[in-house]
Amino acid sequence: MSNFVDSDSLTTRLYRNGVAMVRKHPANNEGFTLIEIMVVIAITGVIIGMSVPRMSAWRARLDARATARAMGDILHEARTQAIRTGDQHIVYLRVPGVGTGGDDPNGTPLWNIQGDDVDVLMSRDSNGDCLIDNAETQTVLTFGDDPGDMVFGLTNTTNKVPSDMSTATLTTGATFADPNNTATATRWILFRPDGIPVGFTGDSTSCARVGTTGSGAGGIYMTNGTDDFAPVLTALGGVRLHFFDMNANGWTN
């Protein structure tokens, strides 16, 4: 008697003496129950709920770092353009509580071409008066007005970056020293045609007193309410971005 089996997943054919005997296997029609589906959905919801805050914090830190980097880029660009054009360039900051009157020495506000407030304005000071003039080439930076956006100031520390060589006291968001009182900060910095940053006092018509080489060293301190950043300007015009490390309780190099 000869026997052999020919099988697939649902059917077994047993051949005995040339006669095929077919045996059917029950199909696997089992699926997920409603309870199982609900459990999977609940677990997925918990995982998403745990990850969203972390993703939001990660995104906020990226945005803040990008803004701080853009601030450093404006300082670098001001130096580069001063050297390229032979005209002094000035970076004005909307730092609360620093300076007098408005946002330049004559009280002219920091606006873009649409007339909206901006936080930073870089101007090609072609006539050398240290004032904002509409005809001058300008670059602006706006931090934003939403909660969690960047502002001038600090959240986690009151200490300056160790490499910040300014003599001005850090009380708000900048440490560029006033040549008339080097313990006091101003809200602007001038880049000479040779690219060297210097401080200046400024008045309603002119730069007034301009500092010497080395007077332009200082930092700009920024926070989004969670993280602190500081683009720091050296006496010769180099820029380095620092981040306050909460774990180390200090500024990164």
Q: Quick one: pLDDT at residue 224?
A: 93
* Residue 233, in any domain of the structure: yes
- The range of the structural domain enclosing residue 94 comes to 67-251
Q: How many domains does the chain contain in total? A: 1
Does residue 25 lie within any of the structural domains? no
Is residue 29 assigned to a domain? no
Q: Which of 64, 120, 98 is nearest to 244 (CA)?
A: 64
Q: What pLDDT does residue 4 have?
A: 46
**244 found inside a domain:** yes
**Does a structural domain hold residue 51?**
no
Query: How far, in whole angstroms, is CA 105 from its chain's centroid?
Result: 28
Residues 211, 181 contacting (CB under 8 angstroms):
no
In a domain, 77, yes or no: yes
pLDDT tens string, the chain, 253 residues long: the values are 444 445 444 455 555 555 555 555 555 556 668 887 888 888 887 776 766 566 667 688 889 999 999 999 999 999 999 999 999 999 999 987 665 546 899 999 999 989 999 999 999 999 999 999 988 999 999 998 776 789 999 999 999 999 999 999 998 899 999 999 999 999 999 999 999 999 999 999 999 999 999 999 999 999 999 999 999 999 999 999 999 999 999 999 8
